[in-house]
Amino acid sequence: MQSETEHKPVRTKPWKFGMLSTEEFGEAEKELVLGVLEKKRVFRFLGSDKEQSEAYRLERLYRGRTGAKHALAVNSGTSALVSALIGAGVGPGDEVIVPAYTYIATAAAVLIARAVPVIVEADDSLTMDPQSFEAAITPYTKAVIPVHMRGVPCRMDEIMEIAGRRGILVIEDVAQANGGSYKGRPLGSFGRAGCFSFQQYKLVTAGEGGLVVTNDDTLYARANIYHDSAFVYWDMNADNVQPPFAGENYRLSEINAALALAQSGRIDTIVSKLRRIKATITAAILDLPQIRLQAIPDPQGDVSYSLVFYLPTADEAMQFSHLLSREGIPNGTIGNNGFADRHIYKNWTYVMEKRGASERDTPWNCASYKGNVQYSPEMCPITLDWLGRAITIGLHQHMSEEDCDDVIRAIRKTAASL
């Protein structure tokens, strides 16, 4: 057996891949951002010519991409979720079902809308388990938020069937799956609304930014009101027949919109490259009995920037991860924050402890709420088991054939050593 000093790793070159989004910054971003500065219009509602607004053009692009009747640009993915929930009429007294594995913002958005998050299991796709979703429905359930985690589409056929049969609103969280699809249909186009993020860690970025798409006229009108506390006073509100109410200021600036617009023009090209890379690697490790690949409800719709596979036990996953790192391939596990704590329900401290901004009045203890949701760190053991046995390798559109071959050889070598 080789010692540490004798060991020759598969890959000796550094793994130097940057973020999916900002690595693509180029002339298109410079042209559009400088164009905003030259127009001296950094606030989208300055002037009546909508065609001069990058935010309006961004909305038009996503209407075309998703086939939605309406699109509303906002300043973050969280703002998109909150605006969609408020737009759909979700509020005090309501429960909203969310998966146990998602960025904490999904649950936070529910709380900001003054509703109560109900946490359910993820399955071997690491997205919401439809059976767990249905089992969690109560008389107080108003909506469900399926989250297309790490670019992987949820089991939307099952989720939509259950939601339709039980009268539950569906708000899709597409923050991590821009450019993904399910059975040929764009993610974000299934629910009452779809919510996108343009934060820097996403496939395309504006630094910060988000967007809501919907075919629901009322939801769109209410989301408009909520995303801008003065919306009812602007000229473009003339056709909005919804009664006004207090809102936030979630507007997207023209500079951020310009970045998102330039980046969004590359989505399909980037996703196409990522899919080829992931398909190459997975095809070469399918035969390994030591590992089990993550279930992908629709492989053709996977954004494909993350390769996940499972080992039989958590201890074996940690051992495999260590050996794979020795072979020169960075990877993540639940033990080294490869599945970041802020994405795992048991670490959402303020949710677990039912703590709001005010001790006297929270969504859990307000007079409108008649339910009795309970949380505990052990409440979703299936999710924790999948995450505990999982290993993830981040993929990048700039990976070469040699890079893919290094990943393949390292995984196969590590599997053989076990």
Tell me the C-alpha distance between 121 and 373, whole Å: 15
How does pLDDT run across 261-310, given as a tens digit for each residue?
Answer: 999 999 999 999 999 999 999 999 999 999 999 999 999 999 999 999 99
Asked if residue 402 lies in contact with residue 275, where contact means CB atoms within 8 angstroms, the answer is: no
Q: How far is CA 129 from CA 5, 16, 133, 297, in A?
A: 45, 35, 6, 11
How does pLDDT run across 59-99, given as a tens digit for each residue?
Answer: 999 999 999 999 999 999 999 999 999 999 999 999 999 99
Q: How far is CA 32 from CA 37, 40, 43, 127, 198, in A?
A: 9, 12, 15, 36, 16
**How would you list the strands of the sheet with 306-310, edge to edge?**
292-293, 306-310, 390-394
Q: State pTM to two decimals.
A: 0.96
Tell me the C-alpha distance between 165 and 161, whole Å: 6
Looking at the annotation, which residues are catalytic? 202
- The CATH fold assigned to 267-340+383-417 is Aspartate Aminotransferase, domain 1 (3.90.1150)
pLDDT(6) > 80:
no
Look up residue 240 and give its two tokens. 């909005």
What are the sequence ranges of the domains in the chain? 27-266, 267-340+383-417
pLDDT band at 238 (very low <50, low <70, confident <90, very high): low
Tell me the C-alpha distance between 99 and 107, whole Å: 9
Specify which residues 186 forms β-bridges with.
Answer: 181
Write out the CATH class of domain 27-266. alpha beta
**pLDDT number for residue 45:** 84
